[in-house]
Structure 1
Amino acid sequence: MLLPITIAVIRVPPIWLLMVTILITLGTGLIACSPPEPLRIGFLGGLSGRVADLGIGGRNGAILAVEMRNQQGGIKGRRIDLIAEDDQQDAEVARRAVTRLLARQVKVIIGPMTSAMAMVVLPQINAAGIPLIAPTVTTNALTGIDDQFFRVVAPTATHVFKSAEHHFVAHGLRRVTLVCDLRNKAYSESWAGDFRRAFEAMGGSIIAELGFDSSDSLATLATKVLADKPDGVMIIANSVDTGLLVQQIRMRNASVHLGTAEWAATERLLELGGKAVEGLIVAQYVDRESKAAAYLSFRHAYRERFAQEPGFAGLTAFDATNVALDALASQSSGQTLKEAILVHGEYAGAQSPIRFDGNGDTLRDTFLSVIRDGEFRSLR
């Protein structure tokens, strides 16, 4: 007698179903193994034109801060990407640049590097609700406002008196002409106004205030500057125009006392000014002779990375970027980045601590220097 045979029927899925299953499995594995989306932060500054030294120094400082943080593992396991845009010191270009950064969904923007551009783009920033952390914006027009604007340097009202006092007391100036770059009026007029108030309060006199932009003849401007025979001239302009204007003034008067504001204090001033800028008194946002360990470490890293001095632009942008990165690292769920910045407390700057008030303003000392033998030398 034959035993019954049981036959198991195995249903084989169609080939297309097998392929879909394999692809889904592979895709799930790839998603599980792929790195998380990077955190994007923006940088905005003048990377071309007459103020490019300021913008490039700022961008480099931001790059260094991001690279150092990525070497430490990023933020909460996520890599940081820096997206840089050139504002060309032009209002419309700056607005378009911010639009592109916002479209890339950056969490914060470092910059811009001039007060004029900050005034232009801040309405967009406030509407977007993300912080703008400025390395070098000092106009008084943005002081004490509850918005998305932060800065790691102090407004001009808190430090320009230092320059006025030095020129009045140490050099005996009594009759001064002010020269202001009109392409950055938000800064130059703020600085000039504070200098005027401090200088006149001590008994000095501002005998003329001349405005110019880069399209004007600096030779003609130099003649106008000296027309009223001032015993001192204060130039509030970028490094390029300051260096070239000093040359023109020195060709006409070798002895008149000359000083300049912090904006001009980059290595470009030394390069372009040459022997003409010897003896020029220059205000600084950085103590170039500091022996602080954090500053020396930063300066060494910057020089190794970019083969040049960081100057004040590199230093303050490095600080501003680290503020943003520290705040992103400490930001809790449901907390805006602005809130995270404000509640974080003190930040460790490369040269001095940074503390924000409730409106994003801070205090930072400035330093006076003189150009001797082609270098900035501190006046103690």
Structure 2
Amino acid sequence: MGTRVISFYDNFKCLASNCPNTCCRGWKISIDDETVRRYNKEEGREGMRLRTTMTFGKEKEVRKFFGRCANETNDGLCRLELQGRKDLMPQVCRVYPRRSIRIGDDMEVTFELSCPMSARLFIENLDNIYLKEHEEDDIDPVWIQDMFNEKYYRDILYIRDKVIEYINSDVLLPKLLDDLYMYFRSLHNHVLSQDVDIKTLPVIVENDNDSKCSYCFYSLSIIDKVIMNDLKDGRIKFFDVLYEFSKEYNRIFGQMTAKEADYFFDEKIREMIEKYPGLHKKYKAYLSYYMYQMLFSSYESVSFYKEYLLGVVYLMIIMMTDLVDYLNGRNLQDMDRQVNNLNNCEKRLRHNVSTKKHISHRLDEEFIKENEGYKF
């Protein structure tokens, strides 16, 4: 079996009690079936304690007390890990932030950017995002894709390589987003038809009219609803950075019409990137990183097109956090600020099941159905 890991895999080290956004708080921590069986078999007082930390119902979760995992100590560490009982930790706790997926005999491992350390390593390695061979067999797969077809698998690898190659070219982000939109839209229809070799589809159908490409891929009317409805609710107060961001965003954009907001966003993003060209590199690197994760997580569902559209929403929210900072005169070269923005956006948007579901529905109703005439 071949294992490929993200380029900065070996540099990861958990921040433990020094983590500014610990995974022991604020998360839904699912308990896998195997760990449930171990809890039920564990004897003595520890076994009784563990069983009281599980929720009732078919889908087991770790009970939280004031938003904290029942196994978190006052020092912000995991009681089970300190006791040398990793076998009693839910699988998600043993592997996070590693995102491991197995298809056939191959496995790929990246990191979830919802982890502060992963987000920092990503920001520090924008020029160095790729997969490399991993010799040791020490990683458990979290996702196993059962529907394995050798030809289909090789086609997806081929597509991903070509898409990432295009992302890493000199193409500017507005044109890139439009070109990939047309490509994944064609790919979706092509895969569903199942009548032609996937490699016969042109890898990228380039848009020759650069002048009409905007950084505002979606109308700000959609992004505004994501920020003010899907993102800004009572729970966001636990995410101090995003709570302040939503208030500052509303102060800047709240009185604009959708057309005014679209023009202002595109104009100011261009101005910001001209002053901080490294941001353009970050946005393209994020898109490249997302492709490494997205194409295989969509392997069975064949939802490449929808996942791409979701990825552009996440990217535009990250761009908006930078823009709000820029318009407020903050230093966009502040590494800690960049890491914090990225980490919180990923945690609150991409890795929040409820929020992702709301955004997906919004895209169905306000973008896909309007532009394509069909619904996922």
Greater share of helix:
2
Greater share of strand:
1
- Mark yes or no: TM-score above 0.5: no
Q: TM-score, normalised by structure 1?
A: 0.24
Q: TM-score, normalised by structure 2?
A: 0.24
